[in-house]
Structure 1
Amino acid sequence: MPAMKFGVADYTIFVLLLVFSAGIGLFYALSGGKQRTVQEFLLANRSMSFLPVALSLLATFQSAVAILGVPSEIYRFGTEYWFLGCSYLLGLLIPAHVFIPVFYRLHLTSTYEYLELRFNKVVRICGTITFIFQMVVYMGVVLYTPALALNAVTNFDLWASILTIGLVCTLYTSLGGLKAVIWTDVFQTFVMFAGQVAVIVVGTVKVGGMGRVWQLAAEQGKVSGIDLNPDPYERHTFWTLAFGGVFMMLSLYGVNQAQVQRYLSSRSERQAVLSCYAVFPCQQLVLCLSCLTGLVMFAYYQEHQPTQEQSSAESDQMVLHFVMDVLQEVPGLPGLFVACLFSGSLSTISSAFNSLATVTMEDLIRPHVASIPEGRATLYSKLLALGYGLLCLGMAYISSMMGPVLQAAISIFGMVGGPLLGLFCLGMFFPCANAVGAVAGLAAGLAMAFWVGIGSMLVNLQATSPGTILAPLDGNLTTTVMTTLLTSSTTPQRLTGLRKFYNLSYLWYSAHNSTTVIVVGLLVSLLTGPMRGEDVDPRTIFPVLPRLLCCLPARYHDRLRCGVCKPEEDGSCSDPAPLAVEKTSNGLLNGLPEGLLPRGDAEGVELAEGVVRPDGAHAYILRETAL
């Protein structure tokens, strides 16, 4: 079959995408504060409202990988994947009410600053390096893979598209900062919607209407019911998608720097929380559009026999073959879909550039270089964004040479997401966890992730024929959908021992790896001496048990907080942590100013309020008659 021919209208639409994206970057580089401060460049001066932040969150999530991958998943395996939308509720409510309040009130720039406040600098650096490794490997792949698929189907020049997209993205990210990234994401989101809707509408008309699409899908068993099988080795069941997917969502929307940085750019905590709520219906809409595209594609090829070339095509190329068939006769629409595809790449890559520049500047440079002037720090941040942009092009070139190893490179992104989620949960929910436990837990989580991931790759390599894409390895939605969701999987019932363990559904990977971090981290912390409540910054803790058991009397809340005081809005403690005190023969107390006693040690003692301890926390006057 001849490749899709691009006309003047198609090239015009594609070029306009690039021009508008670059123009937004130039606009913010030359207007307002002109990106002269680190806060403006990296956090948009914390001035964004919830709607553009929500659309930017969505655009980062909706990569070119998802645009190609989810319809192919539906085409091959049916609509069961749609139940992943059930995980979006908890996957966004938890970040909105747990992670965002903690991060926002700490006034962070880099997510990994939290790890130093909670543990120490070593844990912060470990988290930062892990994230940089994760994103650098992924950047080139997310740029190269869609370009490769497009080239295979349309003969669109591979390196011309890679260089054009990479350079335009580097330009607007390094000049316009986070504000340019967010607003280009908004523009690119609408382009992605338009491209998907065009494919659905034209394809539906050619099939004979949506009723006919649904009828053909139902007749061939592509409309899935609810599979309540709890077996974690089943690739997709309701429980795997709806609950295993929650951990995957948390690793992306809860602790990933690219997403957290958008929350932190909001003008208030309320706006940040609203952005999380606003992205929920948008995600559901995107998922429905992708599922409809897959169903329309399936119905179309029931009515129109695919060619031999299409039948033997790899999964990531199937959507492009479909687009070539249904849109080729309408001038401009092929160009719109290509713009849609590369909008996904632009939004994902620009987020990576900006977040990498942020963590490198805030975690690796500023803490170790004394008193960098603001202007120079801003210049360094821009140069870092530029440098990571050029590195992305280099990684795309390396990806082109990796061959079969490309699958493993993509999988690294998901392998790392779960352990990082576990590290933040360990610090936020377990006050007794110490720095040694955090480092040991992260190392164990990464080791477990790579062990299971590489084992899965080797098992499926043996089970697949040459030229077949490998089976699921990945734990993050944006990286699984094109390369790992679309694969034939081995039958778990035929596997035993480690081979069965390696066949764990990829949607449980994030839960499995994050749980490993927490369990190992707690065990090591207990063995090496758990942290005392008074040594933990209360702003870094989210008190899970006191919230869940809020109906218990107040004296039990003190114990449930594990000695960590309850912080006020200004960061001071309204409920001081209990201290070890000893009554002396003259009725005074050792270790405290005379007459002061924290509330936690005051049971059975007559107290009067009104004294403020030197650290600013409320305390009480101890009457000697009570001794």
Structure 2
Amino acid sequence: MAFTVADYTIFVLLLVLSSAIGLFHALRGGRQGTMQEFLLANRSMSFLPVALSLLATFQSAVAILGVPAEIYRFGTQYWFLGCCYFLGLLIPAHVFIPVFYRLQLTSAYEYLELRFNKAVRVCGTVTFIFQMVIYMGVVLYAPALALNAVTQLDLWGAVLTVGLVCTLYTALGGLKAVIWTDVFQTLVMFAGQLAVIVVGSMKVGGMGRVWQLAAERGKISGIDLNPDPFERHTFWTLAVGGVFMMLSLYGVNQAQVQRYLSSRTEREAVLSCYAVFPCQQIVLCLSCLTGLVMFAYYQEHQLTAAQSQASPDQLVLYFVMDVLKDLPGLPGLFVACLFSGSLSTISSAFNSLATVTMEDLIHPHFPGLSESRATLLSKLLALGYGLLCLGMAYVSSMLGPLLQAAISIFGMVGGPLLGLFCLGMFFPCANPTGAIVGLVAGLTMAFWIGIGSLTSNLQAGPSAPLLVNTTSFPQVGNLTTAVTATLLASAPKRLSGLQKFYSLSYMWYSAHNSTTVILVGLLVSVLSGPTKGEAVSARTIYPVLPRLLCCLPQRCRQQLSCGVRGSTEDVSSAEPVPCAMEKTSNGVLSGPVEGLAHTEEAEGEGFARAEGVHTYILQETSL
């Protein structure tokens, strides 16, 4: 199986157009001359490109290969994951986005300093950097490795080309280039998957025949209401556990928060979150249909010797080459689709890593850094992380069976970070000590279960073949769930003790680990002296109980606010106000007062609030 000239042309065209978008935004589209332009697209983006970028960020090549393989092996049970998308996007839209947007943050971890202190902020930042750096190389190397095994496309040529192109347009064009290339790459992903479904189903006899064959072989799953959390996939596991997974992705992950903050108004940010919902459903349907078409095709066509020995993700590529081989250019379109997933994921990683490094680790120590030098340094950081990604891809190639452990780390970290933000946002009594201890406890629990599951399955030997195949990837399709799915793909039955504990479904990881952070954080906070309500800014708290119990008298709702000064309900329900303020080179906010969300706290105190290293000062004389 080899590529034709048309296939190579389409693949190269993807890379050229992606680079061109980055160069345009570097030279003409805003020129990326300031921190606001480079890191936040000058807060000028409308909701639709932001929504498509939100979608593309976590629709990696692992997903494009993984979901069809999941459906092919286990049937359509995974399709019920779509049930979690509604709450998983509704909660970020009405809880996390209003808090983050009205604080006018650049890094999500600035919130942790506003709510707790600088030490908590640094802990969150370092955890995020560790999470993304580990994953960057894998998301670039993994699809290239599978593609090389099936099509003989040069492995390191593909890795270097994609890595360098992505680094180029991210470092030059900033977040605006990343968002617009994500839009283009999302369309390519849709086109590639749609081509495979249409051509594949035609060769089988139509979608009706595909569904009939899948139903006859027991691949069409019903609703499994088994509440057992140790079952890999049930309705509750996917629909409820998936909500926590979605919150860790779309609620507090810096790559996504940065896109919300690039919106020109809070309303646009909320609309982008709503627009992701139908897009996510379409993506899930396309991936699941690809898996069904692949299953039906191989029911009527004999597998070759090489295909029968391939891992499921490689079988997806064999299937693509089988059904598209007579149509020059379409295999190249699917490869472009595959690498569009890689490009969108790692470019978002570069940009978000450059942002948190600059805002959380460098700027606090060099508050007098000029705007031009800070922007240049941000671009160099993006470039540096791009080169680090290539290095991590090389490290991934050396890991062998440990590749799965490297992949799984990403999923282990998302839950504890979600728990840390929820602890601060929903519990005014939580203090900095509780936050740090809770985060450490959550990470410890995450790695204990994750590594325990991995070693347990490795010891199982033949019962977990995917774990010892260095070219295999997780079977499910997004950045947090995909990286832990393989741990339990062939979990042994009738376990007890720790073995039973290690068999917890990967879909409950985020829920379990975030809950650990919250419970431990609250316990430590109570024992070490809870934070008094009057010491907490109302702008950093989301009033869950007062909002849920809105029928109670005002006095009761004030008591439920735990003594937080200012009307937290007014803050959370205020009309979106676009911020016209800018951070000057010395970190002081300048601009019209209307740019800030109006709160009783600001009115009563003249508003003095330290936002990270940027101190926003509005004195009475300036009013």
**Could you say whether these structures have the same fold, taking a TM-score greater than 0.5 normalized by the shorter chain as the test?**
yes
Shift of 1:487: 6.6
Change (3 A) 1:465 1:408: same
Aligned-partner Cα distance in 2 for 1:449–1:258? 21
Q: Which residue of 2 aligns with 1:489?
A: 490
Aligned-partner Cα distance in 1 for 2:190–2:183? 11
SS of structure 1 residue aligned to 2:104: coil
Does the alignment pair 1:67 with 2:68? no
Q: Which residue of 1 aligns with 2:25?
A: 28
Q: Which residue of 2 aligns with 1:321?
A: 318
Aligned-partner Cα distance in 2 for 1:365–1:220? 58
Aligned-partner Cα distance in 2 for 1:474–1:369? 45
Aligned-partner Cα distance in 2 for 1:183–1:91? 24
Q: Where do 1:561-580 residues align within 5 Å? A: 561-564=561-564, 565-567=566-568, 570=596, 573-574=599-600
Change (3 A) 1:368 1:76: same
Does the alignment pair 1:195 with 2:192? yes
Q: Which residue of 2 aligns with 1:546?
A: 546
**Identical counterparts, % of pairs:** 78
Q: Which residue of 1 aligns with 2:511?
A: 511
Aligned-partner Cα distance in 2 for 1:613–1:548? 27
Q: Where do 1:380-399 residues align within 5 Å? A: 380-399=377-396
On the 8 A contact 1:412/1:474 being kept in 2, the answer is no
On the 8 A contact 2:417/2:514 being kept in 1, the answer is yes
Q: Where do 1:2-21 residues align within 5 Å? A: 4-21=1-18
Shift of 1:482: 7.5
Q: Which residue of 2 aligns with 1:288?
A: 285
SS of structure 2 residue aligned to 1:465: helix
The equivalent position to 2:102 in structure 1, one of 98, 102, 105, is: 105
Aligned-partner Cα distance in 2 for 1:483–1:514? 16
Q: Which residue of 1 aligns with 2:86?
A: 89
On the 8 A contact 1:139/1:352 being kept in 2, the answer is yes
Post-superposition Cα deviations, 1:38-82, rounded to whole Å, max 9, x if no partner, equal: 000000000000000000001112110100000000000000000
Q: Which residue of 2 aligns with 1:556?
A: 556
Q: Which runs of 5+ in 2 are unaligned?
A: 575-595, 609-623
Does the alignment pair 1:266 with 2:263? yes
Does the alignment pair 1:529 with 2:526? no
With 563-572 and 267-276 compared, the bigger mean Cα shift is at 563-572
Change (3 A) 1:488 1:573: closer
Aligned-partner Cα distance in 1 for 2:328–2:460? 43
Count residues with an aligned counterpart. Answer: 578
Q: Which residue of 2 aligns with 1:169?
A: 166
On the 8 A contact 1:411/1:474 being kept in 2, the answer is no
Post-superposition Cα deviations, 1:144-183, rounded to whole Å, max 9, x if no partner, equal: 0000000011110000000000000000000000000000
Shift of 1:280: 0.3
The equivalent position to 1:434 in structure 2, one of 428, 431, 437, is: 431
With 456-465 and 217-226 compared, the bigger mean Cα shift is at 456-465
Post-superposition Cα deviations, 1:173-223, rounded to whole Å, max 9, x if no partner, equal: 000000000000000000000000000011001101111100000000000
Post-superposition Cα deviations, 1:317-358, rounded to whole Å, max 9, x if no partner, equal: 110010111111110001000000000000000000000000
Aligned-partner Cα distance in 2 for 1:161–1:467? 30
Q: Which residue of 2 aligns with 1:219?
A: 216
Q: Which residue of 1 aligns with 2:237?
A: 240
Aligned-partner Cα distance in 2 for 1:144–1:408? 15
On the 8 A contact 1:411/1:473 being kept in 2, the answer is no
Post-superposition Cα deviations, 1:350-378, rounded to whole Å, max 9, x if no partner, equal: 00000000000000000111310000000
SS of structure 1 residue aligned to 2:252: coil
Change (3 A) 1:172 1:614: closer
On the 8 A contact 2:41/2:262 being kept in 1, the answer is yes
Post-superposition Cα deviations, 1:83-119, rounded to whole Å, max 9, x if no partner, equal: 0000000000000000000000000000000000000
Shift of 1:473: 9.3
Q: Which residue of 2 aligns with 1:600?
A: none
Q: Which residue of 1 aligns with 2:372?
A: 375
Q: Which residue of 2 aligns with 1:478?
A: 479
Q: Over aligned residue pairs, what C-alpha RMSD do you find?
A: 1.9
Q: Which runs of 5+ in 1 are unaligned?
A: 577-611, 618-627
Q: Which residue of 2 aligns with 1:416?
A: 413
SS of structure 1 residue aligned to 2:465: coil
Aligned-partner Cα distance in 2 for 1:529–1:288? 50
Aligned-partner Cα distance in 2 for 1:386–1:40? 17
On the 8 A contact 1:316/1:482 being kept in 2, the answer is no
Q: Which residue of 1 aligns with 2:44?
A: 47
Please report the TM-score for the alignment, with normalisation by the length of structure 1.
0.90
Aligned-partner Cα distance in 2 for 1:32–1:293? 38
Shift of 1:32: 3.7
Change (3 A) 1:483 1:248: closer
Q: Which residue of 1 aligns with 2:309?
A: 312
Please report the TM-score for the alignment, with normalisation by the length of structure 2.
0.90
Change (3 A) 1:299 1:236: same
Aligned-partner Cα distance in 1 for 2:180–2:336? 17
Post-superposition Cα deviations, 1:503-554, rounded to whole Å, max 9, x if no partner, equal: 0000000000000000000000001100001100110000000000000000
The equivalent position to 1:128 in structure 2, one of 125, 129, 132, is: 125
Change (3 A) 1:401 1:467: farther
On the 8 A contact 1:21/1:184 being kept in 2, the answer is yes
